[in-house]
Homo-oligomer: A and B are copies of this chain.
């Protein structure tokens, strides 16, 4: 059975998955980039950014796993861009330039309809206005037997967790305290929602845990 997976989602020790005040200048919120320091040196990240080299090891193993067997993506609108409300025009095409690192269908949750955008490298952004279940159905169909990766951000993951729709979630807990921002865990009882920790390993840069939905 194909799965809905969260992969390489970074959180701080105080539970924040992004810093406060996301903007064009701070796509990850203020201080949010420190959450991701574990991934920048990895070979997988180098490859994603079109560079050679990069480190192998625990961090890279997890980073690489997040791209293996993925047939489609889902993301919240904040992950796609800083624009809120109606789409002013069609000029914003994501944070990633002409050739985004998805290379498959990517479904963006939004309340505001917009035409599909075909990008270079095989990424096609679809805009889904009828909710998280509809996005999952369309992504599963597009993935055609492969898994669907749920990117983020925090609010999107929380919605899918609360609906019990995520099958597997890999978190990379970074050794930083953000103090403020978007908290992944606040008011969320993961054990009660059926999630059990099934993996746990630490590198010098992050503690990796995998939560798996039971039953």
Chain A interface residues toward B at CB < 8 A: 13-15, 31, 171, 173, 175-180, 185-186, 188-193, 195, 197, 200-204, 207, 209, 211
Contact = CB atoms under 8 A, between A and B. Distances in A.
Kindly list the 5 A-B residue pairs having the minimum CB-CB distance in the complex, ordered from nearest.
Answer: A202-B202, A179-B189, A14-B185, A175-B200, A179-B191
Given A15-B15, A202-B207, 11 more contacts: A13-B171, A13-B209, A14-B188, A14-B190, A15-B185, A175-B207, A178-B191, A179-B189, A179-B191, A180-B189, A207-B207
Copy number in this complex? 2
A90 B209 CA distance: 46
A13 B202 CA distance: 13
Contact of A186 (B175, B186, B192): B186
A195 B176 CA distance: 11
Nearest to A190: B177
A188 B197 CA distance: 26
Nearest to A174: B200
27 contacts: A13-B171, A13-B173, A13-B197, A14-B15, A14-B188, A15-B15, A15-B185, A173-B173, A173-B207, A175-B197, A175-B207, A176-B197, A177-B185, A177-B197, A177-B211, A179-B188, A179-B190, A179-B191, A179-B192, A179-B193, A180-B189, A186-B186, A201-B204, A202-B202, A202-B203, A202-B207, A207-B207
Q: Which of A177, A189, A204 has the most CB of B within 10 A?
A: A177
Contacts of A188: 14, 179
A175 to B, nearest CB: 4
A90 to B, nearest CB: 39
A109 B178 CA distance: 30
Contacts of A193: 179
A200 B202 CA distance: 11
Nearest to A207: B207
